[in-house]
Amino acid sequence: MANSDATQEIPSSVAACSNFNGVIYRKRRYLMYSAVTIVLLILPFITLGENNGHIFLLSFDHKQLHIFGIVFDMQEFYLMPFFLILLFLGIFFMTTLAGRVFCGWACPQTIFRVIFRDLIETKILKLRKRIDNKQQNPDLSLFLNQIKKAIALGIWFCLSLLIASNFMWYFVPPQDFFTYLFQEPLADHTILLTFLACITAAIFFEVSLIGEKFCAYMCPYCRVQSVLYDKDTIMTVYDYKRGGEVYNSSGVKMWKKPETPQAECTGCEACVKVCPTHIDIRKGLQLECINCLECADACVKVMGKLGKVSLIGWTSMDMVETRNKVNYFRFRTTGYLIVLAIVFVSLLIMGSKKENMLLNINTFSERYSIKSDGSVDNSYSFLFQNTSPVPHTYYFEVDHADIYIKRPKKGILLQPGEKSKMIVTLSTKENLSTAENKDTAILLNIHAFAEDDPTISIQREIIFTYPYIKK
């Protein structure tokens, strides 16, 4: 139960070392939502460098990955594991440090629900009475409310189509997307249209029907956080020492207003009414809490009228228990930061070694052929690709004194992004056999390069087979 002798002394110390200080978070959240929305909408339209690389684009059509203007071809997708590692480590670090802060402040699902419920249904159409009461659903038995609901769904469907298109732009560049969309016949782009329709439908029904049930029961992040929290994790916390305990240790509600002497909670339940995931923050840590701090804003208004500090804030459980300052840089968060830094530096190093030409070499099933003049030929298939933003002519050299290039005799001109297959024949007139009763495998180093740019070159190794000839 709450400590009655601490009620008068605690507020000033709490305000000094945590976020129990009367901060209104709603405007900050809306600014964050606006910033995230604008960034996600305009990023696909931004291109950098001579090759018009995107900030981020995973193009299945062109089999390319764009990162900050650098274009990586399919053969360079070995970088993807580094991005995935960064993503998961970033989630672990963020969750350990600040719980589900992403859910409440940047998650598209949360932003979509705010737009649909708070903006369209409440502010614009007045279908809901107040933003501060998210537990009371509109009365759809009234004909006027039914019309308003239909209008709200119509507006949201149009926005869902825009959102789905925006999502697709990270896989199909906007210039290609609109070309395909308005290109005849549309039957040639059924895959694009199918994805667009399915994503639009998923967003429309998930936001308008499922709502915050997705956050509470379907989102995997909700389950991940439970094993990543510790006593110093920043989250939305009710100060039961000041407000009084409303629930017992078994999670059973004892009363609406705490009966503890000098408990400051008024039992108004404004924090309950405003919660989008329909929980009571006074019950303690719950997986459904998305750290949106709507309850903290509600408590600030109520307690502010009484001249007191908010009972709900963004802080840690340890701070509530001990009144110590939040420990941000502890072993777990520091460890995650170090590993994140190592992976990020590794990614930069790997990315800086991007090749401006790619070369794949394949051998034919017939490893060699013996000509009438006694020479031995080995044939290969060289697949060149120009991954630089300008045209280049590519050729190659062989690092063996007795093996020469029989064909081709000249290089191949490739435009930016172009691929071309070249049939290569290497030959020798010397007896290179060194093994008894079997063929001789000779390791060759192929030096491929751009004839018009000596800085562009790569090395490949191949096997030249010289046959065993009975004497």
Supply the pLDDT for residue 4: 39
Residue 247 belongs to some domain of the structure? yes
More confident residue, 51 or 13: 51
Residue 192 belongs to some domain of the structure? yes
The CATH code of the domain that includes 382 is 2.60.40.10
What is the DSSP code string of 275-343?
Answer: -TT---GGG---TT-----HHHHHHHHHHHHTT---SEEEE-HHHHHH-PPP--S-HHHHHHHHHHHHH
Q: What is the C-alpha separation between 238 and 311, in angstroms, rounded?
A: 6
Q: Which of 331, 354, 377 is the last residue of a domain?
A: 354
Give the model confidence (pLDDT) of 373-393 as tens digits: 889 999 999 999 888 878 999
Supply the pLDDT for residue 8: 41
Sign of the torsion formed by the C-alpha atoms of 73, 77, 79 and 80:
positive
- Tell me: do 379 and 320 sit in the same domain: no
What is the mean predicted confidence (pLDDT) over 403-428? 91
Residue 471 belongs to some domain of the structure? no
What is the mean predicted confidence (pLDDT) over 406-435? 90
Supply the pLDDT for residue 140: 85
Q: What is the C-alpha separation between 458 and 462, in angstroms, rounded?
A: 13
The secondary structure of residue 361, as a DSSP letter, is E
More confident residue, 439 or 82: 439
- Tell me: do 183 and 241 sit in the same domain: yes
Count CA within 13 A, CB hemisphere, residue 434: 7
- Tell me: do 372 and 311 sit in the same domain: no
Count CA within 13 A, CB hemisphere, residue 239: 34
What is the mean predicted confidence (pLDDT) over 433-443? 86
Contact assessment for residue 11 and residue 262, using Cβ atoms and an 8 Å cutoff: no
Give the model confidence (pLDDT) of 65-96 as tens digits: 888 877 777 666 677 788 888 888 888 898 88
Q: What is the C-alpha separation between 124 and 116, in angstroms, rounded?
A: 10
Report the percentage of the chain scoring pLDDT > 90.
41
Q: Which of 306, 334, 354 is the last residue of a domain?
A: 354
Cis-peptide, bond into residue 408, ω within 30° of zero: yes
The total domain count for the chain is: 2
Backbone angles phi, psi at 3, to 5 degrees: -90, 115
Residue 297 belongs to some domain of the structure? yes
* pLDDT classification of 119: cutoffs 50, 70, 90: very high
* pLDDT classification of 259: cutoffs 50, 70, 90: confident
Please choose, from the candidates 313, 283, 455, the residue with its C-alpha nearest in 3D space to the C-alpha of residue 23: 313
Mean pLDDT of all residues belonging to the chain: 86
Say if residue 349's pLDDT is above 70. yes
Supply the pLDDT for residue 10: 45
* pLDDT classification of 471: cutoffs 50, 70, 90: low
Contact assessment for residue 326 and residue 319, using Cβ atoms and an 8 Å cutoff: yes
Give the model confidence (pLDDT) of 28-60 as tens digits: 999 999 999 999 999 999 988 766 788 888 888
Q: H or E element: which one contains 469?
A: none
Say if residue 128's pLDDT is above 70. yes
Give rounded-to-5 percent helix, strand, coil for the chain: 45, 20, 35
Supply the pLDDT for residue 101: 87
Give the model confidence (pLDDT) of 266-293 as tens digits: 999 999 999 998 999 999 888 888 899 9
- Tell me: do 335 and 367 sit in the same domain: no
Residue 124 belongs to some domain of the structure? yes
Residue 4 belongs to some domain of the structure? yes
Non-local CB neighbours of 361 within 8 Å, separated by 6+ positions: 380, 381, 382, 383, 446, 460, 462
Supply the pLDDT for residue 353: 66
Supply the pLDDT for residue 341: 93
Please choose, from the candidates 432, 412, 408, the residue with its C-alpha nearest in 3D space to the C-alpha of residue 420: 412
- Tell me: do 238 and 375 sit in the same domain: no
The secondary structure of residue 183, as a DSSP letter, is S
Give residue 225's domain range: 1-354
Please choose, from the candidates 423, 311, 410, the residue with its C-alpha nearest in 3D space to the C-alpha of residue 378: 423
Q: What is the C-alpha separation between 360 and 362, in angstroms, rounded?
A: 7
Q: Which two tokens stand for residue 392?
A: 């280049």
- Tell me: do 339 and 415 sit in the same domain: no
Torsion of CA 243, 248, 254, 255, to 10 degrees: 10
- Tell me: do 347 and 209 sit in the same domain: yes
Q: Which long-range contacts (CB under 8 A, 24 or more apart) does 420-425 make?
A: 420/383, 420/384, 420/385, 421/381, 421/382, 421/383, 421/384, 422/381, 422/382, 422/383, 422/384, 423/379, 423/380, 423/381, 423/382, 424/379, 424/380, 424/381, 424/382, 424/396, 425/377, 425/378, 425/379, 425/380
More confident residue, 453 or 187: 453
Contact assessment for residue 262 and residue 246, using Cβ atoms and an 8 Å cutoff: no
pTM of this prediction?
Answer: 0.75
* Range scoring the smallest mean pLDDT among 117-126, 253-262, 371-380: 253-262
- Tell me: do 365 and 348 sit in the same domain: no
Say if residue 13's pLDDT is above 70. no
Question: 424 pairs with which residues across the strands?
Answer: 380
Q: What is the C-alpha separation between 271 and 298, in angstroms, rounded?
A: 6
- Tell me: do 285 and 393 sit in the same domain: no
Within a 10 A sphere around the Cβ of 341, how many other Cβ atoms? 10
The secondary structure of residue 439, as a DSSP letter, is P
- Tell me: do 16 and 73 sit in the same domain: yes
More confident residue, 181 or 378: 378
- Tell me: do 362 and 349 sit in the same domain: no
Q: What is the C-alpha separation between 405 and 447, in angstroms, rounded?
A: 12
Supply the pLDDT for residue 144: 92
Supply the pLDDT for residue 52: 77
What is the mean predicted confidence (pLDDT) over 399-404? 92
